[in-house]
Amino acid sequence: MKQSQSIEIAYLINGEVVSVRRLSRRSEWRSALAAFGLVALMSSAAAAVVAVAMLAAHRVLFIPTYFGLWAAVCFGAATLAATRAAHRARSYNIGAAIDDDAFSALALPLVRRTPAGYRLAIVPGFTGRIDGDRAPMAVEGLARGERGTDLPLEIGMRAEVVFGPATFVVRAFADVGQAPALPAGFVRRFARRALLPLELAALASIFCAVPVGAQIADADMKSAISTRATPWEIEKALRAEAQMQARSLHQCFDVLPISCQHSGYVGVGVSLSREGEMRDHWIARSTYSADCPVEQCMSDVVSTWFFEPLPASMRVILPVQVLRTDRPLPYGQARAAADLQRTTARQQVASSVN
C-alpha cells in the first residue's frame, strides 16, 4: 500500500517568505467538510430569516413544501460547495487570478494531485534544482517542449523552482496524520457562490405562503344596517344589496331569443325577518312582455339572495335594474338587438308623452 503524502509549498519573493501552504488528502477532506458545513449553516439561517419575514408580513407557510424546498437547496448548494472546495484543495495554483495561491505571470497548477500521486509542473522558463535520493537535477534540463512536463513528487524530494522574482520551495514528506490549517478565506470563496441559489430559494418561498386569515371579531358580525336607521334608510340599503346581486339574473336570458336580450327593470318583492332571512319572495312588476317569460326564472334566482340583518322584520318591493346577459352576441345579432333596444326606448318615450 502506497504511503500517504503531504506536500509543502513555500512562496518567496526576493528571498522573503510570503506564504506557506500544505497539500494532503486530509486537507481536502477538511476543506470539503468546512465548505459543506458553512453553506448548510448559511442555508438554515436564510430559511429561518425568510420564515420570520413571512410571518411578519402576515403570511402562513405551507410547512412540507417550504421545508422540502430549503432542504433541497441546502443539500444541493452545500454538496456543490464541498465538491468545489475539495477539487481546489488538490492543487497549488499560480497566476494572476484573485483565487490563485501565488502571483505569477504564468497561470498553471504548479503542484496537483493525480490518481498516481502528486506532481510538479516543469515548464520552459523555470530554473532551480531538485534534490532527493538521487543526484541533484537542474530544473531547466527537465522542461520538454512548449508544454513542459510533470515530475512525480516522491517522499523526501525537495524542489526549488525559480520564475522571475518568485521562488517556490516544494517539499514532499510522509503525512504526519494531522490536517493542516486552511488558508485564510479559502472556504469563504466557495460559500459566496451559494448566495445566488439562496436568493432564488427565498424568492420561491413566496409561493409556499398564503395570507393569514383575519380573526372574525364581534364588530365584523354586526350588520351594516344600523339599528337606528329609518325605514327609508333601511330600504335604500336593501336596494343596494339587491342591485349588487342582480347580476345573477343574467342566466334567465341565456335561453331566450335575441329580442329579449336587452336591459330592463323588475320589482322584486321580499319578506325578510330581523336576521335577514328571506321568508317570501315574488316578482311584483316587470318591463319585459309576455314574449319574454322571465318572471319564474327570476323568482327562483331571487330565492338565493341574502341580506343583512334588519332592526325589524320588513316586507318591501325593491326596484332592480336588469342588464343584458354577459354572453357575447354575433355582430349581426348584436346590431339587431341594439336597434330593437332603441325602438323600445322610443316607444316608451312616446307612450309617456301621450
Instruction: Determine the Cα–Cα distance for residues 322 and 251; give it in Å rounded to an integer.
Output: 11
218-269 pLDDT per residue, tens: 555 566 777 788 888 888 888 888 888 888 877 777 777 777 777 788 888 8
Is there a single domain that holds both residue 172 and residue 138?
yes
Whether 315 maps to a domain, the answer reads: yes
Is there a single domain that holds both residue 116 and residue 19?
yes
Is there a single domain that holds both residue 176 and residue 228?
no
Whether 109 maps to a domain, the answer reads: yes
Is there a single domain that holds both residue 26 and residue 137?
yes
List the alpha helices (DSSP H) in 14-153.
Answer: 25-56, 63-88
% of the chain surpassing 70 pLDDT: 82
307-354 pLDDT per residue, tens: 888 888 889 888 888 875 555 544 444 455 555 555 655 555 455 444
Cell numbers for 57:
408580513
Whether 73 maps to a domain, the answer reads: yes
Which of 209, 237, 262 lies at the terminal end of a domain, its last residue? 209
Question: Domain limits at 275?
Answer: 224-353
Instruction: Determine the Cα–Cα distance for residues 348 and 354; give it in Å rounded to an integer.
Output: 10
Q: Is the pLDDT of residue 65 over 70?
A: yes
Is there a single domain that holds both residue 187 and residue 333?
no
Is there a single domain that holds both residue 255 and residue 167?
no
Is there a single domain that holds both residue 42 and residue 172?
yes
Which of 209, 240, 264 lies at the terminal end of a domain, its last residue? 209
Cell numbers for 351:
307612450
Is there a single domain that holds both residue 325 and residue 260?
yes
166-196 pLDDT per residue, tens: 999 999 988 776 666 666 667 777 777 888 8
Number of domains forming the structure of the chain: 2
Q: Smallest Cα–Cα separation from 70: which of 54, 98, 48, 52? A: 48
196-223 pLDDT per residue, tens: 888 888 888 888 877 766 555 555 556 6
Which of 165, 185, 209 lies at the terminal end of a domain, its last residue? 209
In Å, what is the CA distance from 327 to each residue of 111, 125, 190, 323? 77, 84, 60, 11
Query: Which residues are paired to 95 by β-bridges?
Result: 103
Whether 218 maps to a domain, the answer reads: no
Is there a single domain that holds both residue 121 and residue 232?
no
